[in-house]
Structure 1
Amino acid sequence: MSENKINAKEFISKILTGMSIGIVVALIPSALLGELGKALNINAIVEITKMASNLLTIVMGLCIAMQFKMSPIQSGTLAITTMIGSGALKIKDNVIQFAGMGDVINAGITAALAVLLILYIGDKLKAYTMLCVPTVVITLIGFTGLEMLPYVSSITKYLGNMVAAFTTLQPVLMGIFTAVTFAVLIVSPVSTVGVAMAISLAGIGSGTANLGICAAGFGLAVAGFNVNGMGTSLAHILGSPKMQLANFVKKPTMMLPIVANAAVVGALGGLQKIQGTPMSAGFGVSGLIGPINHLNIVGYSTGNLITTVIMFIVAPLILSFVFKYLFINVLKMVKEEDYLIEFK
């Protein structure tokens, strides 16, 4: 690993970029093929893509290690430590089990602490590096991560309570607040699925939450299309907008067109009574999970199919172009370069 010192801004940028890339790698297979595997009853696809999702935090740790050009020993140590800190692994009856993807926020904090310790140790241990780095970092930082986990996880619980309060509002207002909240959450380290499951978000609340994620996916794809190209842009829609995590932290104003988009589609979703379940909330249009679950509730009539296509695809897509023009060309509050994804 390079001995060059880095400043705080560069350090945080590398952590966030590694997290973003890891999230894309682990979640894209499930987003693209998970629901298709269920529909076609191909259990192997469902199980494999679920395995990939559950390995999110260990992949995230490896991607962060690559940002810092770590050695194989350091990279493996960071990957294991990150996963331990996420809380994704539980021991029951002496058997290690996956408890979902874990807490991504705590995983990121744990990874940052581990990187700092690894950078501090550097090559000081020389021949003892192989023995000491994994032992010291995994046990010390892994333990610290697990101790922090309950406190960091309370952030998700707090957000869940806030969203739960929205469900008591009139449908249009509920739709606006829920859609905007989930549009922002899907670009943050917070798990939208975790928030939805924590409060059993269902009905119009779940439906408009998905519309907010659609607004984020289409909005980010359109806003950054000229700098990211077709493939990366589609990944925002078919995969996860979380790949914009690093850009979001560096320049939060890049979310202004997305928030505006989410507010409009959320209001329309409240009027149209777009539905969902706790399991479907948090996915948006990726894997067609949001649209399929809405149709499962309201029925597959021609009218419902047309409404679903308009609400989940047409409306957020058209509004993405409208608000891109407004905020980039007219108000000049954001630039296309704010959405650039750099895979390096």
Structure 2
Amino acid sequence: MEKLTPKSFMMHLLNGSALGIVVALVPGALLGELFKALTPYCEPLGMLTQMIGATNAMVGIAVGVAIGYMFKFTPIESISVGLATMAAGGAVRFADGIIQLKGTGDIFTMVFTAGIAVGLIVLLRGKVRGYAILVVPVVSLFVAGALGRLAFPYFIAFSQLLGSWIAHLLTLEQTLMAVLIAIAFACLIVSPVSSVGIATAIHLAGVGSGAANLGICACAFSLAVAGRRVNPLGTCAAHFVGSPKLSMPNIVAKPKLLLPIMLNAALAGVLASLFQIQGTEFSAGFGISGLIGPVNHLKLAGWGAGQLAVSLLVFVIVPVAGAFAVDWLFVNKLKWIAPEDYKIDVS
């Protein structure tokens, strides 16, 4: 196993969590809305829709296993990290003797739990040897998992506090509000904070919801376009098909990458106000992933040709054009950012 430094330890945690999140959410992002629309006409698709819902709730396992992979753990060790992360992450609920899967869980808690599990496994590795299959899963679950479970309410409280700050933006003049909301959600989507959770907590609806989705679109396309020189096409597409969180480690390592994202998001916020882009508290925070943002706007504004054209303009054409513009500005003109800053290793 490689020699770990505090920086490499944290980057492995962030890389693994980003990869796990995207892998778990891609099936729903690609096919979730389509299957929901077609289920009334084809009943077997209902089962696939249920499977997608279950997959979304298993982000914790995906994150834990991916983090174990980043640390070059054995299968026993990786699965143990995954189980502890899933148990503590918040998607598993216990009510009246019934175990429920609800939501995706809290990313902060998952990273915290996985970090403890990894640390314990590294400490135990040389001591348990042939007893690893008996010791590692138990210690990971009942020590790391329990500590993560205890920390979960505090991470949720932090997210709620952050949400209350963002909620103050809703009291501003509409265009200013839309710009700041778009920027805020463009930054949230590449952090461990759940953009969907924040939107739901503050009941973000109307133009505020539309601005949040357009901000996330701007972030996704900015990262996809900027990374085209150093990443495979599929990895670039995963930013808007799946989640921009794939680039979370890059953002944490080099916060200056937020500058072009925020500039493109500000433009998106202006469009949200100008074209009255709508959304609900349950659709905000997704962006264009699964077409949730544009579909919910069209449900509220109508499916006329004019609104379809507006949706194509604000959710795709302008964010993509803006992404190329800010990429040229910060990479080619100002040279503040190097193409290699966007490199993602998913191998």
TM-score tier after normalising by the smaller chain length: over 0.9
Rounded to whole Å, the distance in 2 between the matches of 1:303 and 1:78 is 50
- The answer to whether the Cα contact below 8 Å between 2:86 and 2:110 also exists between their aligned partners in 1 is yes
Separation in structure 2 between the aligned mates of residue 218 and residue 5 of structure 1, nearest angstrom: 36
Say if 2:209 and 2:279, in contact at 8 Å, map to a contact too: yes
Cα distance in 2 between the residues matched to 1:79 and 1:163: 32
Deviation of 1:5 (Å) = 2.6
Normalised TM-score (structure 1): 0.97
CA distance in 1, matches of 2:128, 2:241: 45
With 265-274 and 106-115 compared, the bigger mean Cα shift is at: 265-274
Residues 40-49 or 317-326, more deviating? 40-49
Q: Is the 8 A contact 1:33 1:45 kept in 2?
A: no
Counterpart of 1:87 in structure 2 is: 90
Counterpart for residue 128 of structure 2: 125
Partner of residue 188, structure 2? 185
Which residue of structure 2 lines up, in the alignment, with residue 227 of structure 1? Answer: 230
After superposition, give the CA deviation of every residue in 1:209-252 in whole Å (9 maximum; x if it has no partner): 00001001111111111111321111111111110011111111
- Partners of 2:72 and 2:325 lie apart in 1 by 41
> What residue number does 1:290 align with?
293
Structure-1 separation of matches of 2:101 and 2:175: 38
Q: Deviations over 1:21-59 (max 9, x none)?
A: 101110111111001111212322321211111110111
Matches within 5 A, 1:137-286: 137-286=140-289
- Residue 325 of structure 1 aligns to a residue whose secondary structure is helix
- Whichever residue aligns with residue 16 of structure 1, its letter is L
Letter in 2 for 1:55: M
Q: Distance in 1 between matches of 2:163 and 2:270?
A: 20
| Structure 2: runs of 5+ lacking an equivalent | 40-44
Q: Which stretch of the first structure deviates more once superposed, 196-205 or 89-98?
A: 89-98
Q: Does 1:11 align with 2:14?
A: no
Q: In structure 2, how many angstroms separate the alpha carbons of the residues matched to 1:5 and 1:122?
A: 14
- CA displacement at 1:89 relative to structure 2: 1.1
Q: Distance in 2 between matches of 1:91 and 1:277?
A: 28
Give the counterpart letter for 1:63 in structure 2.
Answer: A
Q: 1:319-344, CA deviations, whole angstroms, 9 ceiling, x for partnerless residues?
A: 11111000111111111111111113
Retained in 2: the 8 A contact 1:176–1:263?
Answer: yes
Name 1:28's counterpart in structure 2.
26
- Note the C-alpha offset of 1:72: 2.1
Quote the offset at 1:132 in angstroms. Answer: 2.0
Which residue is 1:107 aligned to? 110
Using the TM superposition, name which of 218-227 and 71-80 deviates more: 71-80
Q: Which residue of 2 aligns with 1:59?
A: 62
CA shift for structure 1 position 198: 0.9
| Partner residue of 1:339 out of 329, 342, 346 | 342
Are the equivalent residues in 2 in contact too, given 1:16–1:245 (CA < 8 A)? yes
**TM-score normalised according to structure 2 size:** 0.96
The runs of 5 or more residues in structure 1 that have no matched partner are none
The equivalent residue for 1:50 is 53
Q: SS at 2:93's partner residue?
A: strand
Task: Name the Cα RMSD after superposition.
Answer: 1.2
DSSP 3-state at the match of 2:126:
coil
Greater shift after overlay, 188-197 or 134-143? 134-143
Deviation, structure 1 residue 82 = 0.8
Q: Distance in 2 between matches of 1:105 and 1:43?
A: 32
Find the aligned partners of 2:57 and 2:146 in 1 and give their Cα distance: 20
Q: What amino acid is aligned across from residue 219 of structure 2 in structure 1?
A: A
- SS in structure 2 opposite 1:328? helix
The one-letter code matched in structure 2 to 1:75 is S
Q: Give 1:299-310 correspondences, 5 Å limit.
A: 299-310=302-313
Q: Distance in 2 between matches of 1:150 and 1:95?
A: 20
Alpha-carbon distance between aligned partners in 2 of 1:188 and 1:106, rounded to the nearest angstrom:
13
Distance 1:289 1:274 in 2: 13
The 8 Å contact of residues 32 and 239 in structure 1, kept in 2 or not, is answered as yes
